[in-house]
Amino acid sequence: MDITPEHLVAQARERFQLQDYYGAIHLLEEVTGSGRAFADAHHLLGLSYSMAGQAEKALAELDRALALNPHYVEALIHRALVLNTLGREDEAAAALRRASEISSDSRRGFPTHVASRLANQHAALGEAYAEAGGLTEAIQQFQAALALGPDFHDLRYKLGRLLLEAGRALDAREQFDVIVRARPNYLDAAAMLGLACFLAGDGLAARQVWKECRERRPEDPRVEAYLALLDRNDAALAVAAPKPPARGGKKKKQ
């Protein structure tokens, strides 16, 4: 049985609340090691490292959370606390100023920190719908989440995968393209962009995307598998293509 990252993070959150920080770290490292982590997972892992007295690792995970969601106010505040622990007061003050600036902004009529919380709640509801088989409802919830947090690329990535699952390859391609344009180093999203292109019937675009992925992450077996799939598909199409009539052949007698 494939345990989803969301289930692992929920279990880690329970371990954290019980002050079993190393238990939480073990579960969260499984999520981050799979390449399927989202901002909340990195944030919670950062908190767990911090409570376990590993400030440098905590700071690295909080930075990863903020790379995925630059408006993550809680991550900024906790980053400031860790920086203070490390004696980096100026950087801590800058992180707190940034958190204050974000909190004073607004999105769709809500303060940014409220909009962010609502976006995450929509995403959680979307996950619940997806697990219950309500794919259409799940997509709607993630779309609502992105209306409140358009730069929450971890949520956009999930929306793209749901759209692929729903057979909406063109819509998925649009979502992955937004992520890759904003975050060129998000190679998981780039790999999925190639898959969306392929499923949408644009093999040339898929090949170009996957070749770029291979150049940047040659050790990723998925990319080689995708390119091999594309080669097999091209070969099958070539075999199935009608042969042109032979030129210069003898005419049949009437």
Q: Which of 219, 153, 207, 150 is nearest to 185 (CA)?
A: 153
Q: Find out whether 227 and 210 touch, Cβ atoms under 8 Å.
A: yes
Residue pLDDT, tens place only, 39-85: 888 999 999 999 999 999 999 999 998 988 887 888 888 999 999 98
Residue pLDDT, tens place only, 201-216: 898 999 999 999 888 8
pTM above 0.85, yes or no: no
Coil vs helix vs strand at 110 = strand
Residue-range domains of the chain with CATH: 5-104 (1.25.40.10), 106-150 (no CATH), 169-240 (1.25.40)
Distance CA 145, CA 8 (A): 22
Task: For Cα atoms 123, 77, 184, give the angle at the middle one, nearest 5 degrees.
Answer: 55
Q: Which of 250, 243, 187 is nearest to 215 (CA)?
A: 187
Q: Find out whether 76 and 95 touch, Cβ atoms under 8 Å.
A: yes
